[in-house]
Chain A
Amino acid sequence: MDLQTTTYLFVGASFALYIGIAIWARAGSTSEFYAAGGNVHPLANGMATAADWMSAASFISMAGLISNMGYGGGLFLMGWTGGYVLLAMLLAPYLRKFGKFTVPQFIGDRFYSKTASTVAVACLLTASLTYIIGQMTGVGVAFSRFLGVTNEMGIYIGMAIVFAYAVFGGMKGITYTQVAQYCVLIAAYLVPAIFISLHLTGNPIPQLGLGSNLVGQDVSLLSKLDQVVTELGFGKYTTSVPANSTLNMFVYTMSLMIGTAGLPHVIMRFFTVPTVKDARTSAGWALIFIALLYTTAPAVAAMAKMNLIGTVNAGALTNADAFAPESALVYEDRPAWMKRWETTGLLKFEDKNGDGRIQYYNDKSKDEAFNAKAEAAGWKGSELNVNADIIVLANPEIALLPDWVIALVAAGGLAAALSTAAGLLMAISSAVSHDLIKNVFNPGISDKNELLSGKISMAVAIVIAGYLGLNPPGFAAGTVALAFGIAASSLFPAIMMGIFSKKMNKEGAIAGMLAGLFITLFYVFAHKGLFFIKGTDFVDMIGGPNSFFGITPEAFGAIGALVNFAVAFAVDKVTAPPPDHIQHMVESVRVPRGSTVVTGAH
């Protein structure tokens, strides 16, 4: 069987499974549509949360980013897992006790204000819509590379699949398909990693392989990698800090943690378990399932880097002279996987010095001695451009693994993108149908009509998401960072103060959310342009790039959160305290006793 047929078989089988589950788990009531009936087992919810959370970015891009960044890539690993500690302890059990369907509903009720819930809806919609663009483009990339269809066709197929199970199944259908998608994506991630780890280090467990010696050598993989990358002018793999700023890495990690805890599509998964106790346990399960991928990713990153350099500059790997002309790979002799990825444009070769060989090194090195050596060798700039996204997708091919592994990775990448897209669509549709239509425009709406409006708003959201995926605004790459920035600077502090400060009033919460949101958008837009439109950036007005203590715009969410807290407490001090019944509500949210199944009723 050729690769194409095998891939069709794997992807087709996985899609059939999702559809089958969707037919079995149709949603018949608003409680099933919004919260899967409130009786999902904590372990199943943990798995669904893991699939919900691990997006195309985690599955496809993260290992590639770490591969390029080395040690500094740890900020994604710590940031995207450490947030679960905050979520498990500070938000999830209390929001479960509160027992309503959506995050804006909590903010609206706790701060006794429709303005507050509307601000929360706006934050939620912006964060979720920007996030979903990345998922749709991920679906397009995976389809076009693996199924040989066009990017557009890939997105249409993806939309149809999500439509089938999300619209009819609601949260219930999404939950159980996410459980299946988790199994597919984790298998797809682990299998190639195990093969590669075994091949390079002789240890089948990638987490241990990363700390082992190379097969047949008396040197550890990491110190060998350090030596190889420095030889090619890159920073040392195990110590390189992004933007050379430890403070920035610190703040960036914090922003990702707070943002993770504040993302509504993750929070609302905890409304589906039966009890407060289950919400706590479920967060633990979720992190265990997530960690399985997140602790494998650094091994994949380092090993892929090793394999890549070994392929293009064999001299660097065998301790021969990396600068000798014969060390570099002859372009005409390049392996088949490079040819396949060249057609996607994600891998590019440009023969700058016209010698027909591929020179891959850091041509922006500040090391004079290295630059002199590179010049003496006749190198005229790095000739290979490798998009971070292909590290995971091409990994099985680079390591020469069998066809079925490549097919499995294709199915896994699609599972990751589709499961997250479905979770985001759920968050969007519940905010629209429950928080806007029911709470603001038409409070008397019947259960049946609310269910219908939920399904319609989900269908509309799928069309918008598909449109954005087909016509990705030029800023697609920057938007995921924006989603975390918004969640960190507006939603997380508001929810946290709602639980931990009995005296926080509506004026404080609204002012805080708006201030945090505004300052974050201001800093991001200053760097990237107003609403990401090229040419409208005003970075010089704020004193040049990263002018706030060298903090990059992606890392700014934590600063926005600080501003949010500060403004909220300042405004709270000078305005009237919340009414008594609200303070009693906060007290009752803090104790588990008396929790009921999640409903939307008031």
Chain B
Amino acid sequence: MDSNSSAYWSATLGLLTKILIVWFLVSFGAGILFAPVLNTIHLGGYPLGFWFAQQGSIYCFIALILYYAHAMNQLDRKFDVHEE
């Protein structure tokens, strides 16, 4: 693997790690593990932990995929490995 490809790959892995941490925090964190604590806070008529489990985590997932697609396209260009 030449140095450019391996730099591209480690940049990719860095991005994936960041996104997976957020992915974990909004679903397994806010939706399950910390849900009882968050339920003491209310978002409109929603207890916050319940909201994350049944609504919020899904919105975050969409944002994560869109951010991923955007950030990867930039990485592709930066390392000049994008499709012509």
Contacts and interface: CB of A to CB of B under 8 A. Distances in A.
Interface of A: 66, 71, 73-75, 77-78, 81-82, 84-85, 88-90, 93, 207-208, 210-213, 220-223, 238-239, 246, 249-250, 253-254, 275-277, 280-281, 283-284, 287-288, 291, 294-295, 298, 587, 590-595
Query: Looking at chain B's contact residues, is the secondary structure mostly helix, strand, loop, or mixed?
Result: helix
Contacts of B36: 239
Which of the four size classes fits the interface of chain B?
35 or more
Contacts of A84: 61, 65
Name which of B33, B36, B46 has the most chain A CB atoms within 10 A of its CB.
B46
Name which of B46, B55, B59 has the most chain A CB atoms within 10 A of its CB.
B55
Contact of B27 (A78, A90, A284): A78
B60 to A, nearest CB: 9
A280 B47 CA distance: 33
The 5 closest A-B pairs by CB, nearest first: A220-B45, A74-B53, A211-B44, A280-B69, A298-B54
A238 B39 CA distance: 9
Contact of B76 (A88, A212, A277, A295): A277
A78 B68 contact: no
A86 to B, nearest CB: 8
Contact of B57 (A78, A213, A595): A78
B69 to A, nearest CB: 4
Interface of B: 1, 5, 8-9, 12, 16, 19-20, 23, 27-28, 31-33, 35-36, 39, 43-47, 49-51, 53-55, 57-59, 61-62, 64-66, 68-69, 72-73, 76, 81-84
B75 to A, nearest CB: 10
Contacts of A254: 28
B58 A295 contact: yes
Contacts of A213: 45
B67 to A, nearest CB: 9
A590 B81 CA distance: 10
Contacts of B9: 590
A93 B73 CA distance: 12
A85 B57 CA distance: 11
Contact of B83 (A77, A220, A294, A595): A595
A587 B19 CA distance: 22
Contact of B44 (A81, A212, A277): A212
23 contacts: A74-B54, A74-B57, A77-B54, A78-B53, A81-B57, A85-B19, A85-B68, A88-B65, A89-B19, A207-B55, A211-B44, A222-B46, A250-B28, A277-B69, A277-B76, A277-B83, A280-B65, A295-B55, A587-B5, A591-B81, A592-B81, A593-B82, A595-B83
Contacts of A73: 54
